[in-house]
Amino acid sequence: MSEAMMDPTPTDWNGQIMQKRIARRYAAERRFKAMGFLAVALSTVFLAFLLFTMLGQGLRGFQRTEIAVDFDFPALTSGTTAAAISGTNADAALNSMDVPGIVELAVAQQYGDISEGLLTAGAAGNVRQMLIDNPGLVTSKQQLWLPVDSRLDVAFKRDGEPAAEQTVSALAQKDALRTAFNWTFLTGADATDPSAVGIWAAFKGSLMTMAITLMLAFPVGVLAALYLEEYAAKNKLTDMIEVSINNLAAVPSIIFGLLGLAVFLTLFGMPRSSALVGGLTLALMTMPVIVIAGRNAVKSVPPSIREAALGIGASPVQVVFHHVLPLALPGILTGTIIGMARALGETAPLLMIGMRAFIPAAPEGFTDATTALPVQIYLWSDEVNQGFVEKTSAAIIVLLIFLLGMNALAIYLRNRFETRW
């Protein structure tokens, strides 16, 4: 024992040295705690900043600017009747009417020298649709609100190019502009003009990809989890399966994309950038997540349940499928939803299997070329046109809402159905 510890004099806690030392130690304590608080606060602030940036930009993406255009239909169409453009011949009649020409003429008459490039490319299609929906319009003078070009759209919502700003302020003085909800964004597909793009095609592509992923990854994942947890003997094969699954869960997602490219596209010759190949690739990525969650859920079912079932004569398969699986299902479902949410946000593997093409229509089948929501976000983020900024953020809002919804569902399932033994 050292000299100091033998010293019988008690420590003078109230002395100046000791008081100072304690003050210093408490200050260090407070600093440490403040640092911890700062770390949590920084993470939260970053998340809030990210979400607010996306919301601030993205909400504009759900709106579009419209301009009032007066159509003197009787004069413009030389007296076409409502009956002529309705019924079975409507298409042919509208084609011979030259709607784009009429729109151009009407705009030129009303706005004169600034009429060039005022409307978006799809505006004539909008007029045509209005006439099909309501043929009666054609017999009278009408004021129609049509979407403006994306350059003006940007200038009206925030700061755009000087030329566009001038046009917009001139139009705004005439009260010719208004902001309306952009239905096209929810129902349309990709386009070259940002004011005509929509996310429905990408969304449908994502849904179809997810359907394939779920159909493959869920059964395989659950069965593998049951096998490993309930039946697998302790041997080399089981060890290899476990190592594979743990490793697959941590392999970078882009590697799965390379696998999809080399095996599904090149070796099996499956259709490029289709929901089928995307779903297969993501299923391989999601399966280990489901297996790991499934094993934990199966493990948490108490052995007494198995013993009771065995005791009254159930076979090992009956024990698992009649008793263990139903009790573990909420946990498995929670893990599945979390895995699916991750797959829904995954972009890199889909890029590898060719999902980066410009696809202006929603896919009809599982083998059609398609795009997916996160890939669409990536493609739009690459566009130079300023109008795409808000569309990208708007698509991100849609994606985040779905991910949050899925995660909330997972948490609800966990709280509602999970039994604590």
Q: Which stretch binds other proteins (CB under 8 A): 22-30, 176-184, 206-214, 328-336?
A: 22-30
108 versus 411: smaller Cβ distance to other proteins: 411
Minimum CB–partner distance for residue 79 and other proteins (Å): 39
Does 158 bind other proteins (CB under 8 A)? Our answer is no
Does 346 bind other proteins (CB under 8 A)? Our answer is yes
Q: Which stretch binds other proteins (CB under 8 A): 24-32, 77-85, 157-165, 174-182?
A: 24-32
Interface with other proteins (CB under 8 A), residue from 134, 140, 247, 419: 247
Inter-CA distances, 170 with 151, 173, 231, 398, Å? 15, 5, 77, 34
Q: Please list the residues that pair with 148 across neighbouring strands.
A: 119
144 versus 397: smaller Cβ distance to other proteins: 397
Does 326 bind other proteins (CB under 8 A)? Our answer is no
CA-CA distance, 268 to 264, in Å (whole number)?
Answer: 5
Contact set for other proteins, span 89-148 (CB under 8 A): none
The position carrying tokens 């806690």 is 13
Interface with other proteins (CB under 8 A), residue from 55, 90, 121, 220: 220
Interface with other proteins (CB under 8 A), residue from 171, 177, 189, 226: 226
62 versus 145: smaller Cβ distance to other proteins: 62
Interface with other proteins (CB under 8 A), residue from 266, 304, 415, 419: 266
CA-CA distance, 340 to 213, in Å (whole number)?
Answer: 8
Q: Which stretch binds other proteins (CB under 8 A): 64-72, 123-131, 141-149, 257-265?
A: 257-265
Q: Do 144 and 69 contact (CB within 8 A), yes or no?
A: yes
Does 228 bind other proteins (CB under 8 A)? Our answer is yes
Q: Which stretch binds other proteins (CB under 8 A): 84-92, 119-127, 249-257, 297-305?
A: 249-257
Q: What residues contact residue 94 under an 8 Å CB cut-off, 6+ apart?
A: 85, 128, 131, 132
Q: Which stretch binds other proteins (CB under 8 A): 99-107, 128-136, 328-336, 342-350?
A: 342-350
Q: What residues contact residue 333 under an 8 Å CB cut-off, 6+ apart?
A: 410, 413
Does 345 bind other proteins (CB under 8 A)? Our answer is yes
Minimum CB–partner distance for residue 301 and other proteins (Å): 17
Edge-to-edge strand ranges of the sheet holding 141-147: 141-147, 63-72, 177-181
Does 252 bind other proteins (CB under 8 A)? Our answer is yes
- Its sign, for the CA torsion 114, 69, 88, 201, is positive
Contact set for other proteins, span 347-406 (CB under 8 A): 347-348, 351-352, 356, 374, 377-378, 381, 389, 392-393, 396, 399-400, 403-404
Q: Which stretch binds other proteins (CB under 8 A): 47-55, 65-73, 184-192, 201-209?
A: 47-55
Does 215 bind other proteins (CB under 8 A)? Our answer is no
Interface with other proteins (CB under 8 A), residue from 250, 303, 384, 420: 250
Interface with other proteins (CB under 8 A), residue from 241, 310, 329, 409: 241
Does 40 bind other proteins (CB under 8 A)? Our answer is yes
Does 39 bind other proteins (CB under 8 A)? Our answer is yes
